[in-house]
Amino acid sequence: MSDHQNGLHLEAENWPRALFAVALAFSVFQVVTAAFPLISTQVLRAMHVGLLLLVVYISYPAFGIGRPWQPLAWLLGMAGLGTAVYQWVFEGDLIQRSGELTQADMVVGVVLIVLVFEAARRVMGIALPIICALFLAYGLFGEHLPGDLAHRGYGFDQIVNQLSFGTEGLYGTPTYVSATYIYLFILFGAFLEQAGMIRLFTDFAMGLFGHRVGGPAKVSVFSSALMGTITGSGVANVVTTGQFTIPLMKRFGYKPAFAGGVEATASMGSQLMPPVMGAVAFIMAETINVPYVEIAKAALIPALLYFGSVYWMVHLEARRADLKGLPRDQCPSAWGAVRERWFLLIPLLVLIALLFSGRTPLFSGTIGLALTAIVILGSAIILRVSSLGLRIAFWVALGLLCAGFFRLGIGVIFVVIAALALACWFVRGGRETLRICVRALAEGARHAIPVGIACTLVGVIIGVISLTGIATTFASYVLDLGRENLLLSLVLTMVTCLVLGMGIPTIPNYIITSSIAAPALLELGVPLIVSHMFVFYFGILADLTPPVALACFAAAPIAKERGLKISFWAVRIALAGFVVPFMAVYSPALMLQEGGWGATLYVTCKAVLAIGLWGMASIGYLQGPLAWWERLVAFAAGASLVLALPISDELGFVLGALVIGWHLWRQRAREAVA
């Protein structure tokens, strides 16, 4: 169910006051607990889920559109929050009982499970709850299944205890990550968005690419890549940047379906783009117990190749259809946009520096968010001062004050924020800035709902898998296939990701598939990070593949075109990018996992050529139209470069050189005759 159907599409200040207050309290709670560890992680997870349930039930109706019936909404919402309060009040008793549930524990546990299922249905539709219900049924009745699928049998109380009171159920690793890193990074993106970062990125992209061939589409690709650095959410990216880029593309001659497909494809890639990737990256780092920077490092080249492939497809389509760019005088200055809003880049650059210096995502996110608030509040005060010297002195003083936190603690930064907020109250235009900050806090809660609910409900799958060991059974099937043919195992894993992605978001898709396939791929010799990135990559592409392509359907109302038609174009545009994860499996150097810089450079060049050839085959154009047999040879050359067989690389290079050389010679001959 979309935000547009329940009223959350309104600006935050237009929400019902109670909803706004709850969303604001939710964000404040998350910020305070991130900065000051006042409660245990178990209570933090429980309160995160409880507040999620409260926000969902008072804003999402059970059926239809409009606001839910408030008395029942508040009853269900407070019941959800009550399960969290129960965990907090009786934390010590629950630890001492260690799985021996009382009648009250059973009631609370069952209520929590039911409320989470219903909340997920209201937010995301029926697909994910059905999949999780099947896993739940397996945990309860799987002992009656034949052969290897049967488990030893578990009582109802064991299932409830596993899901509602442990750290391998609803309060599992995904929920922990949602309650800490993810929420902070969502708030970080919300603050920057409210402060005008979208305009900075779009103006910068327009200045660089707007005047080129197919300029509007290239702006969409580049701005979506930049937005990915602060949002990490593909569908959210479609809705934000798409409001500008899709109408722009249509105005300059692009078909509505193609315009929607470009934006959807580019936006989904934002989840791969370091330094601030999608929620899955944080869950992955926590799951496989590696620093977040290692995930970002592994994603860097695949992300650049993904956006490069989309850019290439857009370029070829623009050449084929003879689509011009904007007149240069209608494009804003790229560096002028940076000069106007340079201060918004400070928190992002600091965040990148902290992440890549080895700091934890929780620490980096807290500091990044705090600096964003400081920059927004500080700019409201000082940008009205005409003296350059005073401006410089102001920013230097703020920087020195913030640097003091390394000695005196995070409290220093909160004191600075409070002082700036107080000053803004008395400065002309400052109160509007304060309203922007408060609005960003409420907006953060809204953006966190689908991510948080998905992370919570998928805990059912995690709990059942860890209790029954069913993943081992499925993994053995993948292993048996892979021992005979690794490519077949990879294709099976890809198909699983794409099929699951028809009905569920990227996060649960990744968790389900990685739980089953990633261990099997590891046994087949695929490095751990590569196997998880393989699953993640195709989980992203699943939002583009028909018949249910979430990103494409999000673009449909903006493009004024059917989501299914947009999806077909999106797959075509993303087709060249399908080679990247396969090449990474056969050559882990592509993700900086094995070999030196020489191996990485070689496989990257090979991937670029394969993407180029597949783009030619898909669009049917290079310098001019390609004959059917040229497209076939180009496809075969690209496929040869992907396969890691003894002579496949050599064959791919030779075929690629021949088809490109022949095409260029033939096109020159045509132009000479003309």
326 and 222 in a common domain: yes
Type of residue found at 327: P
Query: With 80 as the cut, is the pLDDT of residue 140 above it?
Result: yes
Number of domains in the chain: 4
Domain-embedded: residue 290: yes
268 and 206 in a common domain: yes
Higher pLDDT, 88 or 468: 88
pTM of the entire predicted model: 0.78
244 and 100 in a common domain: no
160 and 177 in a common domain: no
**Model confidence pLDDT, tens digit, residues 493-502:** 887 777 776 6
HSE value, Cβ hemisphere, 13 Å, CA-based, for 375: 23
333 and 186 in a common domain: yes
**Model confidence pLDDT, tens digit, residues 506-522:** 777 787 777 777 777 77
Domain-embedded: residue 372: no
230 and 152 in a common domain: no
77 and 133 in a common domain: yes
Burial grade of 305 (CB within 10 A; 0-12, 13-18, 19 or more): buried
At residue 114, the pLDDT reads 93
At residue 18, the pLDDT reads 83
320 and 188 in a common domain: yes
Domain-embedded: residue 213: yes
How many other C-beta atoms can be found within 10 angstroms of the C-beta atom of residue 212? Answer: 18
**Model confidence pLDDT, tens digit, residues 254-310:** 788 888 888 888 888 777 877 777 777 888 888 888 888 888 888 888 888 888 888
Which residue range(s) make up the domain with 86?
A: 12-166
Cα distance between residue 654 and residue 640, in whole Å: 10
Average pLDDT of the residues of the chain: 80
206 and 330 in a common domain: yes
**pLDDT, mean of residues 104-126:** 89
529 and 555 in a common domain: no
Domain finish residue from 499, 516, 543: 543
DSSP 37: -
145 and 27 in a common domain: yes
Domain-embedded: residue 27: yes
CB burial readout 615-654, b (16+ within 10 A) else e: bbbbbbbbeeebeeebbebbbbbbbbbbbeeeeebebbee
**pLDDT, mean of residues 598-611:** 87
670 pLDDT band, cuts 50/70/90, is: confident
Query: With 70 as the cut, is the pLDDT of residue 330 above it?
Result: yes
Domain-embedded: residue 386: no
Query: With 70 as the cut, is the pLDDT of residue 78 above it?
Result: yes
Tokens of 230: 């602060």
Phi, psi of 69 (to 5 degrees): -65, 115
Cβ partners under 8 Å of residue 300, min gap 6: 274, 592
Least confident of 47-51, 81-85, 201-205, 323-327: 323-327
**pLDDT, mean of residues 428-444:** 83
User: Which strand (E) or helix (H) includes residue 64?
Assistant: none
Domain-embedded: residue 396: no
Phi, psi of 333 (to 5 degrees): -75, 125
569 and 486 in a common domain: no
